[in-house]
Structure 1
Amino acid sequence: MSSDESPQFVTTYEDVTNVRVHDPGRIARLAASRRRRTVADTDGTMMIIAADHPARGALGAGARPDAMASRTELLDRLREALAVPGVDGVLGTPDILEDLLLLGALEDKIVFASMNRGGLQGSSWELEDRFTAYDAAAISAARFDGGKMLTRIDLADDRTSRTVEDSARAISELARHELIAMVEPFMSSRPGGPGTPVVNDLSPDAVIRSIHIAQGLGSTSAYTWLKLPAVEDMERVMDATTLPTLILGGDPTGDPEAIQASWARALARPNVRGLVVGRALLYPAGEDVTAAVRTAVDMIR
């Protein structure tokens, strides 16, 4: 694309489909010409909107089990959130990021690519979080900023060993491309036995243990960041690492003010460098996406 040629963005979702049918190469061309912001362009504190839950079959948000079933509604909400001043970027899978790219919503944004979505919600193999989306080479080719991986650790499930090994390999590969590895670890279990829902242990001691396992993965930790829940005793929890950390939002259940207060307590720690929040901001109580995102932005600025 020449310097005087404007990007070929689209304006409707019908146009998105038409490009995918008639000109799929436009996605790579737009990625190559996209105006970028990088982590180095920030003060190190970031507000990132997360949108990678649907690829794992997790469509619920709050009281709505099918909240994210409509792709166009999700894209509407994402575009509204990304337009709020102070929002630095987005985390997503290829399908969502490429829709946003075609719509021009990724200009001047930091972009994290979701890598392992194979631990489908409710599946018998859920804890084996296989890498089914981006890999390091694809993230580098798209000129994105890093890759995120879910790393759930169940000491009673043999499949955890594969998840840990695959996460370590992905961290090493991202580092070779000088890309951030955003690791989201949990100590997890199925307290009801095989086939029952996976439960993440959010006690401070369990989060601390997950931190130590996660930060030791890969051939270098130079590019590793953590993505952690806001839990009790965050001063002690964050003393477990020197790695930059972003706080995840989780499902928007419970009192929104209490959730926001937990984020604020976590953000007070010097190695906590921002928020990665999806459902809690995209499907907030009261349905005012812009207001919910502004509140979150104000907390970290």
Structure 2
Amino acid sequence: MDASPLALGEVMDLLEVGVCVWQLETVGQRESLRLRVCNPAAARFLSVRVEDVVGKQISEGFPGSLDTPLPGVFTNVIETQTTVALGDVPYKDEIVPDGMFSIVVRPVGKRSALVEFTNVTEERRAQAEAKATLAAAAEARDKAERFAQSAKDLDEKLRVIEAQKRDIIALTAPILEVGTGVLAMPLAGNFDLQRSEIVREKLLDVVSSTKARDVVIDVTGLGSIDELTANELVRLTSSLALLGARAYLTGISPANAQTMVSSNARIPAGMCMRSLKSALQLLGEGGRSGITARGSRSR
């Protein structure tokens, strides 16, 4: 069934796609393009009124348009009778505000071009914002992963440092095998909780592996002994007793003796001797066996 001009006009008015028909009045002269059809959607996309642009040459209806590539594209489509899909095209002239348009140009007859287009400015802006958001999220994720890896590397370095620190502390408390079943361990410097734990761990390992029955702990180089240090020494001797080894403390200064007596630490008097030499003489093995250094053992 043939469509009447009125019905065709109503269809054009209902279209959501912008439709313009440009007629080339003079071959080869793009400035002779005259707008013959402009539906409401096209007028809305171009921010113009239909009555202000229909029937006018391109430079009259859209001043500044001849400074853009589109009039040349329309002219070329008419002259070559070839359809061109331009995709997204940025466009702006003195009438049309800056925007992004998706454009297809088709030849109509021998002298006209039908231009179908939509204003995709907001859509492309939203897509660009979404893309930027995704990129920012990806960057944030990468930073978080790098931070997590850095934290993991730092933890590993700290574990290495802690292990090295434990080794250094252990080396400051050498365990000497001074006779059959007899060990001696001189202490020097400060004897805090961390050092006490490491030294006790190392000494108990050596006592267990050598089945030593006597351990002489010399505190001559330990410096001042406070209540915390005295309690740690008691813990050390008690731990040795659980393994069946007798502990002896030597080298306690008069000032440290006063501190230990006034503290809560209870060290039996029989465990205390004046010097490492006297302890070895009492044990009866030091003079005959000689002293051999025993290297530290790692767990």
TM-score by length of 2: 0.26
Q: Which TM-score applies when normalising by structure 1?
A: 0.26
Query: Which structure dedicates a bigger proportion of its chain to helix?
Result: 2
Higher relative CO (CA 8 A, sep ≥ 6), structure 1 or 2? 1
Quick check: which has more Rg, 1 or 2? 2
